[in-house]
Amino acid sequence: MKRESRARFNLRKAAWGVAMLAIVSAGSAIAQTRVQVEGEVDAPGIVTLEGKARLDDAALAAKVRSHAYVAAAAWLRPSLVPQQTRLKAGLLFDLDLLKTLAGQHGDTSAGDLATRMADQLRALPVTGRQPALLDGRVLEVDAASNLLVSEGDRLVYPARPETVRIVGAVEHDCVVPHVPLQDARLYLPGCVATVDADQDTIQVIQPDGRVFEQGIALWNRGAPIPLAPGAVLYVPLRRSLIDSIDPAFNREVAEFLATQPLSAANSGP
């Protein structure tokens, strides 16, 4: 009996050892996070980070080049793709409805604009971009901005452009030279607006992904907003045209445009 009990004990001990080894191995696998870095970096590709990795770990591992345009670097997260996919689908639905209503009322201008914007929006990828500071050296001392990264995240560091893009309710998309410290609204004369453009506001999308609304009429003129190189100005649709469909439409278009990395932002709605 003693011999049998000892044998059972040894079997249980061996099984416990195997289980503990599996747990330790699983823990080791979980403690690593693979992040892809690309663009103006010396170490492009997938970097493997140990422990609970943060943005500074990934940024420093990428070895960002000194001439990279860090202000426009993009953090692309698979976890945000479903939410942004729904946003894109909702905008396309609104534009399809606008096209249908415009056709019913014989409004050729609005129908053509809705078709063009839908085609451009449909061509843009869903990126999962989350606005974030991606300067590794700054993140090392800025704990509040140094967020955790997840498996499959991407960091994209673009080159610095010298232009600003104007899109939306305009005759055609425009690319104009960037002027240091120039107010956003002063770029508008460089692009012809359609009859369906909002005369009171514009949406300003800075290359870091932040979005601002600026009043441009005499009655609501807002404080100047200097643009960074690579910024996008979205000229909204007039409210009388779109509010009955979705009052948040123009803001949501700007928010979706803000998800585009700088390289992709050069060809959107």
Give me the residue spans of the domains in the chain. 1-30, 78-266
For the stretch 82-98, pLDDT in tens is 999 999 999 999 999 99
With tokens 């699983």, the residue in question is 26
Which CATH entry fits the domain spanning 78-266: 3.30.530.50, 3.10.560.10, 3.20.20.100, 3.90.870.30?
3.10.560.10
Confidence of residue 23 (pLDDT cuts 50, 70, 90): very low
- Most distant CA pair in the chain, distance: 98
Q: Which residues are registered as beta bridge partners of 168? A: 235
The reported pLDDT for the residue numbered 8 is: 57
Q: Supply the pLDDT for residue 17.
A: 53
- Which one, of 109, 245, 79, 252, lies nearest residue 169 by Cα? 109
pLDDT of 136 above 60: yes
Average pLDDT of the segment spanning 156-164: 96
Task: Please tell me what DSSP assigns to residue 230.
Answer: T
Instruction: Please tell me the distance from the alpha carbon of residue 120 to that of residue 269, in angstroms, as a whole number.
Output: 5
Q: What per-residue confidence (pLDDT) applies to 4? A: 53
What pLDDT shows up at residue 31? 78
Q: What is the pLDDT of residue 3?
A: 54
Report whether pLDDT(24) > 80: no
Question: Which tens digit of pLDDT belongs to each residue from 34-79?
Answer: 999 999 999 899 999 998 899 999 999 999 999 999 999 999 999 9
Residues 179-233: tens digit of each pLDDT: 999 999 999 998 999 999 999 999 999 999 999 999 999 999 999 999 999 999 9
pLDDT band at 1 (very low <50, low <70, confident <90, very high): very low
Average pLDDT, the chain: 90
